[in-house]
Structure 1
């Protein structure tokens, strides 16, 4: 598949001043938000889009807080957030809202996905290695709790895993428990 790459632009934010670049993969347009200078071994967060958490501040998940943690970390230590357009573990916004409705009825996040005909996690990460290679990055410090993300990066050395610590709240305690117990997240 052909991947189109945008120009680089400045992105001043409440977290710091970054650069932004877009990688279009078919109909999905992924973003890279990066410090103006990349260290020799940059910190990298691979973050999948979560409109409800990232933009609306949903307390049902920890996505928005993980993104904020990563942007603050990158602002202070250098690196990048690779923002993948894979809403709702790549089931799309409509299905994610339907999964939320099933969760309201007592299903956990994995059971809700299964009820809708999806696996627990439909995300893929092939574009990540393309992006890292595009910037000539061979070694990273990976900001993640997700072992699937660690396993997916094969051609770049992960010299350190930086855990993302988020305080649970009454709305996401079970969600975090399921991520740890059923998905193997390193919480």
Structure 2
């Protein structure tokens, strides 16, 4: 992907936007991607993050314009890498991702998308077509002044290692994952 990387300091973290083509204006294809060291770098099959990152970049390039905002400080839905690894250990013992965070005394989701909206405002983006299955991302962008013209599904195929993660996202976190209906049954 050819683009202009842009860094922004916020909350003591540098944020990165990979920009492809002319993005200012309306209906810009956009992915807000939470950092995931285990999935993005080490190709963990515990989650679908690495696959979603690659798929989002392919869709942006195919579109001819778009933005991927890589959000630092979002590891483990905002709990940090070490806490995420502790939660993963609890998941290995049978808890789902929500239960594991709560068992550790942590929030289910501690992410803040204000910085993502700030980055989009800086790039002159007024509205997006959001590559996401997570309704909270849509709500957060709208709350911070970025219109969401459409939410574009970013569906990946589950595997035995991440099926529990998919189930928790759909049943506990309200992610829109219609491709799982036959596999998981309807909620």
TM value normalised by structure 1: 0.88
Higher relative contact order (CA 8 A, sep 6+): 2
1:62 aligns with 2:48: yes
Give the Å deviation of 1:39: 6.7
Give the alignment's Cα RMSD to 1 decimal: 1.1
Structure 1: gaps of 5 or more residues: 1-15
Of 142, 167, 177, the match for 2:167: 177
Q: Secondary structure at the match of 2:3?
A: strand
- The Cα offsets for residues 139-175 of structure 1, whole Å up to 9 and x where unpaired, read as 1111000010011012122111110010000000111
Structure-2 separation of matches of 1:153 and 1:64? 23
- The Cα offsets for residues 27-55 of structure 1, whole Å up to 9 and x where unpaired, read as 21111011033274310001100000011
Of 11, 26, 34, the match for 1:48: 34
Q: Secondary structure at the match of 1:17?
A: coil
Where has structure 1 moved over 6 Å in runs of 4 or more?
Answer: none
Match runs of 1:46-125 below 5 Å: 46-77=32-63, 78-85=65-72, 86-125=74-113
Structure-2 separation of matches of 1:107 and 1:156? 36
Structure-1 separation of matches of 2:151 and 2:97? 25
Structure 2: gaps of 5 or more residues: 178-187
More strand, by proportion: 1
Q: Secondary structure at the match of 2:82?
A: helix
Of 142, 147, 150, the match for 1:157: 147
* Residue pair 2:31, 2:132 contacting (<8 A) in 1 also: yes
